[in-house]
Structure 1
Amino acid sequence: MKEKLNNIILEETKFLEKLLVALEKQHEYIAKNEVFKMEAVVQEIQNLNVEIAKWEMERRNLTKGRGMLEIVEELGDSEVENNYRKIRGLVEELKTQKELNEALIRQGLGYATKMLQILNPDRSAKTYGAYGKMK
Structure 2
Amino acid sequence: MTTPTIYEWAGGADAFDRLTRIFYGHVHKDPLLAPVFADAADDHPHRVAQFLAEVFGGPAEYSERRGGHDEMARHHLGRRITEEQRRRWVALLMDAADEAGLPTDPEFRAVFAYYVEWGTRMAIVYSGDDPPPTDGPMPTWDWGRTPPWVPPGK
Give the TM-score taking structure 1 as reference length: 0.31
* Greater Rg over alpha carbons, structure: 1
**TM, length-normalised to structure 2:** 0.28
